[in-house]
A = this chain, B = another copy of it.
Amino acid sequence: MELFERLKKNLKELPGIGDKSSERLIFFLIMKGKVFSRELSDSIVDLVENTKVCSICGFIDENDPCKICNDETRDKNVLMIVEKARDVFIFEKTKKYKGLYHVLGGVISPLDGITPEKLNFNKLLERVEKNHIGEIILALPPSTEGETTSMYILKLFKDKVQKISTVARGIPFGTDFEYIDDFTLQCSIERRQKIE
């Protein structure tokens, strides 16, 4: 069944989908029928074809500049630096942050050939200098590469921006201490937060 193998190959390109889950999806789609498969396909193409990367911050949206960069009510004095567009989406869901974002498009990882030149730093420099950013918040992944990138940004901007902070590292809610790595546990003591 050529059509079967073709769809299986495509599904397996998706993150988290392997041999068995792609087959399960295919049988589900067949059983679900033509109307749903057509609607699913249309919604994939409609979204992807109508999405642009924001030329200012690197987020994705139906418009360029994106709805965040275009929003006059946001605090243009604060810039949160994230690795990827999805992180913007995740922080936006918290409804807690009212500043702007900058998507680097990755983190520095010399072993994988990802040097600062390959990331969205030029635009970042330009934004910080042109817009008198008062605070940079680092929200990079808690990994060696994320820390390296944070250090790089710290060096780059420490004389140019009044305040550079990072999202708090610590114990997340709903987790037993048992499952938290040593580094985070150490952090949680060193960076303990005053509660009154």
List chain A positions with a Cβ less than 8 A from chain B. 1, 3-4, 6-7, 10-11, 13-16, 21, 23-34, 36-51, 60-62, 84-86, 89
Query: Among A21, A31, A42, which residue has the most Cβ atoms of chain B within 10 A?
Result: A31
Query: Contact: B24 with A62, CB < 8 Å?
Result: no
Picked from B13, B16, B41, B43, the residue with its CB within 8 Å of the CB of A3 is: B43
Cα distance, A3 to B4, chains bound together (Å): 27
Cα distance, A42 to B28, chains bound together (Å): 17
Chain B residue contacts of A25, Cβ below 8 A: 14-15
Chain B residue contacts of A26, Cβ below 8 A: 47
Query: Contact: A38 with B30, CB < 8 Å?
Result: no
22 A-B contacts (beta carbon < 8 Å): A3-B43, A3-B50, A3-B51, A6-B46, A7-B47, A10-B36, A11-B40, A13-B36, A14-B25, A14-B29, A16-B21, A16-B24, A26-B47, A27-B60, A27-B89, A30-B47, A30-B85, A31-B85, A37-B44, A37-B47, A38-B48, A41-B44
Beta-carbon nearest neighbor of A88 in chain B: B27
Cα distance, A7 to B39, chains bound together (Å): 9
Query: Contact: A30 with B4, CB < 8 Å?
Result: no
Query: Contact: A61 with B1, CB < 8 Å?
Result: yes
Query: Contact: B85 with A27, CB < 8 Å?
Result: yes
Chain B residue contacts of A38, Cβ below 8 A: 45, 48
A-B pairs with the 6 shortest C-beta distances?
A41-B41, A37-B48, A7-B43, A3-B47, A27-B86, A10-B40
Cα distance, A26 to B84, chains bound together (Å): 13
